[in-house]
Amino acid sequence: MGKECPRCGKETMKEPIEHNAISNEDKKTYICSGCGVYENKMLWMITKNMHNKIPKFQKELQKKFREKLGID
């Protein structure tokens, strides 16, 4: 079991920390690879004007994560 990911809260973090993804939010916080992929996907969807296609729970995860980082 890895450490807890600060975005999804699951124990999905790899060792060493550099093997995880860096969040687009602050460009320095490590998050699990799954979250990294999803953050990129959300950014892409936003640029394509597809906000409404992003699952609600993913939007909420991102919102809580941003609050945790002190963004907004």
Q: What is the dihedral of CA 46, 5, 67, 27, to 10 degrees?
A: -60
- 65 touching Zn ion, by CB under 5 A: no
Q: Which is nearer to Zn ion, 1 or 52 (CB)?
A: 1
Q: Is 5 exposed, middle or buried (0-12, 13-18, 19+ CB in 10 A)?
A: buried
Tell which one of 35, 39, 62, 65 touches Zn ion (CB under 5 A): 35
Residue 22, classed as helix, strand or coil, is strand
Instruction: Give the shortest CB-50-to-Zn ion separation in angstroms.
Output: 22
Per rule CB under 5 A, is residue 32 in the interface with Zn ion? yes
Summarize as ranges the residues that interact with Zn ion (CB under 5 A): 5, 7-8, 32, 35
